[in-house]
């Protein structure tokens, strides 16, 4: 049963934050920067952004739930009798099949050692925990998206709103980078630079799209 097998799952709100917040921020930052240059009514722009925001949230929540649920099909890291039988049906020699089995066992052993070294725990599936994780991931996605889209909702002057949105986005990325560095025991500067480059990449992408269209 899916409830009994072990896998790496959300370790709480910190995991949900690291997944949901940047996804929401970058998705809405990209969509607002691109769509604001299209000829459309203000309300149409708002409707599109809210639809992207809500649909994105639902998709992230769905993904978070299933990521916590895991996949029984790939739970066994070793070559199963059924898989061995399929390989034999492909006229693969026994020597090759044995070699594949040995390599899979080596990979499984290496994975177990890596989990021990990194102190990563595998836990059994809990539907309540998975639902809670999906809700928190969705909330953090909404928070990230709010930094990008809320300036437009409060100001119909999209040029001014765009400037405010960019300021909030890069401020949010900076704060998020320090939080992520604290949670993952990393140096903050490389994380800040990486996320700033990603934000700059979004801006460069929207500029290229404007030139193309």
Segment among 25-34, 91-100, 102-111, 146-155 with least mean pLDDT: 102-111
**In the listed set 121, 151, 184, which residue is the last one of a domain according to the structure?**
121
One domain, residues 108 and 45: no
Instruction: Say if 56 falls within a structural domain.
Output: yes
Instruction: Report how many domains make up the chain.
Output: 2
> What domain range includes position 172?
6-70+125-212
Cα 103-122-137 angle, rounded to 5 deg: 120
Instruction: Say if 45 falls within a structural domain.
Output: yes
Instruction: Say if 75 falls within a structural domain.
Output: no
d(CA 57, CA 62): 9
Instruction: Say if 76 falls within a structural domain.
Output: no
Q: What is the pLDDT of residue 112?
A: 66
CB hemisphere CA count around 27 (13 angstroms): 25
Asked whether residue 4 carries a pLDDT value surpassing 50, the answer given is: no
pLDDT tens-digit readout, 123-135: 666 777 788 889 9
Q: What is the pTM of this model?
A: 0.71
Query: Can you name the residues that pair with 9 across neighbouring β-strands?
Result: none
One domain, residues 154 and 63: yes
One domain, residues 23 and 52: yes
Instruction: Say if 77 falls within a structural domain.
Output: no
97-121 mean pLDDT: 69
One domain, residues 15 and 34: yes
One domain, residues 107 and 147: no
One domain, residues 104 and 30: no
Residue 43 burial by Cβ neighbours in a 10 Å radius (0-12, 13-18, 19+): exposed
pLDDT tens-digit readout, 52-91: 999 999 999 998 887 776 555 445 566 677 777 777 777 7
Instruction: Say if 1 falls within a structural domain.
Output: no
């Amino acid at each position: 049963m899916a409830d009994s097998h072990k896998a790496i799952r959300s370790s709480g709100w910190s995991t949900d934050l690291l997944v949901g917040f940047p996804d929401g921020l970058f998705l809405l930052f990209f969509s607002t920067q691109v769509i604001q240059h299209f000829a459309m009514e203000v309300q149409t722009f708002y409707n599109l952004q809210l639809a992207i925001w809500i649909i994105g949230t639902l998709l992230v929540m769905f993904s978070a739930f299933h990521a916590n649920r895991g996949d029984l099909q790939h739970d066994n890291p070793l070559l199963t009798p059924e898989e061995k039988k399929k390989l034999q049906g492909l006229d693969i020699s026994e020597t090759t099949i044995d070699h594949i089995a040995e390599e899979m066992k080596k990979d499984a052993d290496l994975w177990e050692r890596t989990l021990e070294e990194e102190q990563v725990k595998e836990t059994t599936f809990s539907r309540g925990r998975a639902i809670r994780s999906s809700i928190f991931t969705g909330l953090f996605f909404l928070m990230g998206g709010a930094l990008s889209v809320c300036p437009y909702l409060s100001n119909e002057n999209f040029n001014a709103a765009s400037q405010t949105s960019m300021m909030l986005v890069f401020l949010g990325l900076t704060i998020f980078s320090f939080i992520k560095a604290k949670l993952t025991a990393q140096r903050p500067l490389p994380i800040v630079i990486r996320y700033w480059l990603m934000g700059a990449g979004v801006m460069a992408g929207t500029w290229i799209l404007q030139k193309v269209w």
